[in-house]
Structure 1
Amino acid sequence: MKNIFSKLILGLCALMLVVSCTKDFVEINTNTDATSNLPDPGLLLPNIIRTTSHRSWKNSFDRFAVVADQIANQFSSTYGNWTRSDTDRFFWNNYDQIKELDKMINAAENKGFNNYKGIGLVLRAWIFQGITDNFGPIPYSEAGKAAIDINFPKYDSQEAVYSGILAELEMANELLGSTTEIITGDILYNGDISGWKKFANGLRLRILMRQSGRVDPSPEMRKIIGNPTVYPLFTSFLDQAALQYLTEFENEHPSFRGNVSDWASSTRLSVTMEKVLKDLNDPRLAVFAMPTPASAGTATPQYGGVPNGIKDIQQWNGGSVNHSAVGLLWAPKQFAPNLASENAAQSILMSYSELQFILAEARERGFITTGNAETYYQNGIRGQFEYYASRIPENFELPTAAQVIPPETYYTQVNVAYTGSLEDKLNKIYIQKWLSLFLNGGEAWSHWRRTGVPEIVAGPNNEGYVPVRYVYPADEQRLNEQNYNEALVLLGGPDNLITKVWWDVN
């Protein structure tokens, strides 16, 4: 076990090297004494993208998709076991990547590379959004100011962090395309600046919608939607922010060489996801899950979910022969020997479908006046089916690409057709958005916390609750105690799993 001194050094390093912002949370500190030693930003970029994308997917599979009730795991869903060591890893791993982005942004500023700086700001905003959504108040404005003797940075309110990252994303949109350097090391968009601008503006809409229970998003949303030339957005799943994996070792999907036991014994489709998909006659059931072992290879494959929060999943519905593991696109290669890594699932940072559902909700609630809510809604659904059909290899027998595309009657059924009251329509948007966020980092969990859709009921082993935030790392209580205590004042409640974050007014 690491001793206290080692912990102190690690904690200080992580906090001291995080990106610094000015009082308006935009300008980056530059170490002018070390500019000659700054690295080529193109050398830092690929590892930042790869590492953050890997961790986003793994965190989703291990925790976030479980608490969002998309998949089930008897260990992760025993929420009393969500220890501070778990949150330590999430907290510090993310700040570790902020440190790398700090280096990249400083190098870009020194060289006058606005494109690299813009990319760095987009990634930093995406990472900070994940941290604050999971904890609430976090170190932000002082997080990188160790150079001016701030070794233990204060915590900023989530409202202030959101304001800061929105400003950073606006700056990124302005910077991208303003210089002519060729981007190397861009394994997300292959140097396509327009893709990064679309990602930046999509993130802005995500954050504006998430805080809409606290701050009216209308002015900013209308500015973005009203000027697509200045503020471009995703136009299909082809330009969404999704990392394409390769066949080379260490460039494969994180699950491709993953732990077989996760699929064989502990992780399943959730009963909530099973019911939602079956009620909709939704072909994504065969994408998100494998047939039960008892029915695999038969003419009538069956799919069975497992509830979260039960002590022994082997006691549910006759045991594992009647349970569905997570679908082949995410499975280790032993389960899908005919699936090459480059055909497997991507790590999605933000999807075209998520954007369309944001726009559908914004139009339905009057935040924007451009476009048609039903059109946005249907675009989101169709984009999902088209995306997954595009990921299915030709040698797959179940599902085939054709089987993933539903008949037109899918859109006219009562639970999908865009009809009913405002509440009915919003509920349909929310259900489809939750489905679209399958294994997409912490987004399904945040979506559920904001909307309450779908209904998630705590299992008998959940101590009567479903978590709505992470707890802070143990080191913060010991080494940054004063600021930690001030963070709890900003949080407005105790540091536990049931104190809501600022935007969660559901």
Structure 2
Amino acid sequence: MMKNFNTILGIILIAILVGCKDFEEYQSDPNRTTEGDPGLLLTGIEVSNLQEVTLSAALACRQMVYTDGSSSSQYYSWQRSGFGAYNNLRQVIKMEEEAEKTENANYLALGKFFRAYIFLKLTNTFGDVPYFNALQGAEGNYSPAYDKQGDIYLSILDELKAANALLNENNGAIKGDVIYEGDILKWKKAINSLSLRVLISLSKKEGNATLGIVSRFQEIVNNPSQFPVFTSNEDNLSLTYHNLDGNEYPYFNNNSIKTAYYLDESYVNLLKSKNDPRLFLLADKEVNGKDLENDDFNAYGGLDGSVLLSENTERLANGNGSPIDERYYNDPENEPSIALGYAEVEFTLAEAAARGWITASAEQHYYKGIEASMLFYKISQPQIDAYIQQSSVQYVAQQGIEMILVQKYMASFMNSGWEPFYNQRRTGFPEFRTDGGGVLNDGVIPKRWMYPQSEINDNLSNLEKAINRQYPEGDNVNGVMWLLKEE
């Protein structure tokens, strides 16, 4: 089925996978297909929204360092983001409209999933956003009110639950699906796995009776036949690339990633401290290690994302710094873009168990998460077993949540979009270094992005109400959104 859509994918990917370097790349302009076929629209929606390979997130998460200039993501000097994701949502609405014409309810279920997926990005970026009355331009509402983040999260959870219930083999074939080829069970797993992501992101809201996050989490975990979730890497919600024009890995033949991106030393040292074989697949040897074997940890080193650019260029001149592995720019297929993966689900289950939300072994889910990540990189089972047996990796209950979040972070290199940043923002794990002298924003990691200039121009009254309601000190990157406040 993938081959049937190569032309479509080529057109879409050329539009959305051009090498951008700031946060806007994850809100790319959508495919603008107007064909009256929900399958064609679904293809564009999938490709537009599930491309989660982003260098800007890797910079912000202290996994990568940029050396050709001062990156706002690396130095935490970002300001505004955009509302481009609403254009993606318009494509979802078109798909739903065509699905109603063809009386295929399965596309409506996928519409609910993608609404949840896209709105989750929007609210994680800003806080309150237009939700219930958004996208009503056809009805004359060009200035929608902003809805509270708590209400948005509650609706997202309800929509995902409804999507799971609506998906059914009897509702019609899903065509144009370049992710699961119309497999209903796999889509149900993706929907419920996304629900687990949403619920764990609400970990500070255990006391919120309206949300009922613990009971919702338990309902999914305790009823696998009704609410299946990922059970292997075969279930990953991921976009696969191909050695065909327009279908290649997003940084294939990208000169910038080839010459200006190096691993952050905190990430390298984390992997080295655990003798982690994934390092050899993510990085190439630094100049100072060129005469050592490829599997010698001493051959690898990093730069420091928190210091001045001049210090990193000097370190490069002295032979320090491992560049990103050449496969990221030489291999047109490289690896799939994981939007939501099995490893993440296992780490989420581990965290939920460590918090006492579910009756399960946090330790076993933690090990399964590690194994899933390493199997994704085709690391052998004996190597995986030896890795897990190390004292630096063995699960310690008293440090459980930190260990789980650190391994979840380690598994997120060049995948999962901004999810590792949001996990760190929520938990503080792992710690991102900011004291090197180069970090702006008074050395503080931002909590959010400011609202787009377009809203100041076109929807100022509603925008000001939302800002005043959430951020007493005004619209700024350090404002603490509802999601991050304990209840």
TM value normalised by structure 2: 0.85
2:248 is the alignment partner of 1:252: yes
Give the SS at the match of 1:460.
coil
Pairing of 1:20-419 with structure 2 (within 5 A): 39-54=36-51, 56-57=52-53, 60-61=54-55, 63-73=56-66, 74-77=70-73, 79=75, 81-84=77-80, 87-88=81-82, 91-92=83-84, 94-177=85-168, 179-214=170-205, 215=208, 216-258=212-254, 260-265=255-260, 267-296=261-290, 298-299=292-293, 300=296, 302-312=299-309, 314-319=312-317, 321-329=319-327, 331-333=328-330, 339=331, 341-342=332-333, 344-369=334-359, 371-389=360-378, 401-402=379-380, 406=383, 408-419=385-396
The residue identity in structure 2 corresponding to 1:462 is V
- Please give the per-residue CA displacement for 1:187-213, whole angstroms capped at 9, x wherever unaligned: 111111111110100111111111120
* CA-CA distance at 1:457 after TM superposition: 2.4
Q: What is the DSSP-based 3-state SS (H/G/I as helix, E as strand, rest coil) of the residue aligned with 1:179?
A: helix
What is the CA–CA distance in structure 1 between the aligned matches of 2:151 and 2:75, rounded to whole Å? Answer: 29
Structure 2's unaligned 5+ residue stretches are: 1-26
Measured against aligned partners, the alpha-carbon deviations of 1:48-87 in whole angstroms (never above 9, x if no partner) come to 1112233x32xx31x2221121212242345465243xx1
Q: Given residue 474 of structure 1, which amino acid in structure 2 is its aligned partner? A: Q
Residue in 1 aligned with 2:9?
none
Partner amino acid for 1:364?
A
Match of 2:406 in 1: 431
Aligned position for 1:5: none
Name the CA distance, whole Å, in 1 between partners of 2:377 and 2:384.
15
Contact kept, 8 Å, 2:62 with 2:74, in 1: the verdict is no
Report the secondary structure of 1:224's partner residue: helix
Deviation at 1:437, TM superposition (A): 2.0
Q: SS of 2:338's equivalent?
A: strand
Query: Alpha-carbon deviation of 1:438?
Result: 2.0
Q: Which amino acid aligns with 2:449?
A: Y
Letter in 2 for 1:309: S
| One-letter amino acid of the counterpart of residue 181, structure 2 | N
Matched, 1:488 2:482: no
Cα distance in 1 for partners of 2:463, 2:73 equals 27
| 1:113-134 Cα shifts (integer Å, max 9, x gaps) | 1111111221221111111111
Q: Summarize the Cα distance change of 1:112–1:38 in structure 2 as closer, same or farther, 3 Å threshold.
A: farther
Instruction: Tell me which amino acid in the other structure corresponds to 1:42.
Output: G
- Choose the corresponding residue for 1:504, options 478, 484, 487: 484
Identity %: 32
Distance 1:386 1:80 in 2: 33
Q: Deviations over 1:391-411 (max 9, x none)?
A: xxxxxxxxxx54x96353422
Distance 1:359 1:114 in 2: 30
Q: TM-score, normalised by structure 1?
A: 0.82
- More moved, 38-47 vs 168-177: 38-47
Let me know the Cα RMSD of the aligned residues: 2.2
Match of 2:217, SS state, is helix
Letter in 1 for 2:319: V
Q: Which residue pairs with 1:27 in the alignment?
A: none
The 3-state SS of whatever aligns with 1:138 is coil
Q: 1:476 aligns with which of 451, 455, 460?
A: 455
